[in-house]
């Protein structure tokens, strides 16, 4: 017996996984609470692939653009757009918070909060100047750029590697062909991993409901309403205006990447969809070099949801 066609779509499978996880977490909370490793394993598998895919994609993007001036213009335009969108997201998030007052009725006294849970994050929150930040981007070794899974060191290494290849001749072409082959294999591996997305969504939802109860889905509801309201305004007003300015339909683009949006919602992580977005945007007709440079860089410099 074959499944109906809609059930072959990944985002439908992810939604079913979330619904099943909610049911398991509600009716068998102990079982649901033990299923978190499913979600952790899926996200870890995807993160394992991010650094090498970003490296190959950026190198290919730089060599595709060929002209050093074109590469420079692309990077400067992207960074200018990233900073504009980040400022817009910050202002919109702030305005939404002032308008809706999320958490105003909780009557929380900050002096009585347990701050022990923040101890694990405090070392990461130390204030750094520009020099310290720039030095942190430079990896200790070439292999070290991939070791911690951070995008910026990989981005720097890929830029240097791509520029070096673009000014090389025969040797550069041979190395580029090898990198293209490696990228093809990496995307194939990722396609296999993405088949596990429904299991990851199932584990995440089962753990949340099993550990914190069915009411946890609606807890702090006003905060979530405020956040999603700000995100919706950002998409409609800011991204919609940009789409109209560049002559394409934002709604059609969102429909085109609906599977990726559901995966992000289910796993609470944008990393699993980066490689899929690269493939989809290239298939849509976007310039390979532009996608290879702008999209991975945006994962480090354009976190609008975090800003909101």
Q: Quick one: what percent of the chain has pLDDT higher than 70?
A: 83
Cβ distance 180 to 60 under 8 Å? yes
What pLDDT score does 6 carry? Answer: 65
Average pLDDT, the chain: 81
Task: Tell me the pLDDT tens digit for each residue of 84-104.
Answer: 999 999 999 999 988 888 766
Tokens of 256: 């085109």
> 114-139 burial by CB neighbour count: b if 16+ within 10 A, else e?
eeeeeeeeeeeeeeeeeeeeeeebeb
Distance, CA of 13 to CA of 202 (rounded, Å): 10
* Average pLDDT estimate for 32-54: 87
CA distance 202 to 231: 25
- pLDDT at position 3, please? 53
Q: Which domains does the chain have, with CATH numbers?
A: 9-103+137-307 (1.10.3860.10)
**pLDDT score recorded for residue 152:** 80
Nearest-Å Rg of the Cα atoms of the chain is: 21
* Per-residue pLDDT, 238: 92
For 204-245, how does the pLDDT look when each residue is reduced to its tens digit (9 = 90+)?
Answer: 888 888 887 776 665 556 777 888 889 999 999 999 999 999
Smallest Cα–Cα separation from 222: which of 97, 93, 102?
Answer: 102
Tell me what pLDDT residue 153 has: 85
Question: What pLDDT does 86 receive?
Answer: 92
Mean pLDDT score, 250-271: 83
User: Under a CB-based contact definition with an 8 Å cutoff, are residues 166 and 172 in contact?
Assistant: yes
Q: Find the angle CA(224)-CA(227)-CA(231) to the nearest 5 degrees.
A: 135
Give 120-153 pLDDT, tens digit per residue. Answer: 666 555 556 677 777 777 888 888 778 776 778 8
What pLDDT does residue 88 have? 93
């Amino acid at each position: 017996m074959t499944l109906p066609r809609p059930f072959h779509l990944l985002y439908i499978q992810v939604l079913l996984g979330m619904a099943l996880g909610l049911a398991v977490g509600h009716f068998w909370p102990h079982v649901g609470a033990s299923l978190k490793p499913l979600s952790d394993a899926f996200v870890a598998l995807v993160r394992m692939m991010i650094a090498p895919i970003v490296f190959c994609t950026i190198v290919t993007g730089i060599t595709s653009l060929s002209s050093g001036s074109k590469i420079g213009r692309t990077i400067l335009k992207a960074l200018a757009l990233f900073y504009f969108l980040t400022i817009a997201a910050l202002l919109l998030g702030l305005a939404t918070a002032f308008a809706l007052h999320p958490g105003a009725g909780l009557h929380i006294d900050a002096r009585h909060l347990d701050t022990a849970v923040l101890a694990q994050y405090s070392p990461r929150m130390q204030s750094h100047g520009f020099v310290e930040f720039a030095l942190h981007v430079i990896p200790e070794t070439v292999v070290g750029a991939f070791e911690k899974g951070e995008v910026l060191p990989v981005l720097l290494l890929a830029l240097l590697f791509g520029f070096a290849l673009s000014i090389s001749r025969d040797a550069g072409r041979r190395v580029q062909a090898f990198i293209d082959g490696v990228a093809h294999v990496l995307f194939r591996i990722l396609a296999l991993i993405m088949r596990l997305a429904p299991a990851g969504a199932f584990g995440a939802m089962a753990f949340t409901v099993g550990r914190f109860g069915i009411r946890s889905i609606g807890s702090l509801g006003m905060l979530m309403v405020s956040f999603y309201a700000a995100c919706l305004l950002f998409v409609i007003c800011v991204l919609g205006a940009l789409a109209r300015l560049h002559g394409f339909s934002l709604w059609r683009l969102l429909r085109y990447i609906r599977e990726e949006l559901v995966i992000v919602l289910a796993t609470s992580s944008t990393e699993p969809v980066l490689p899929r977005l690269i493939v989809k945007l290239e298939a849509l007709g976007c310039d390979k070099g532009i996608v290879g440079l702008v999209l991975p860089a945006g994962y480090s410099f354009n976190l609008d949801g975090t800003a909101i």
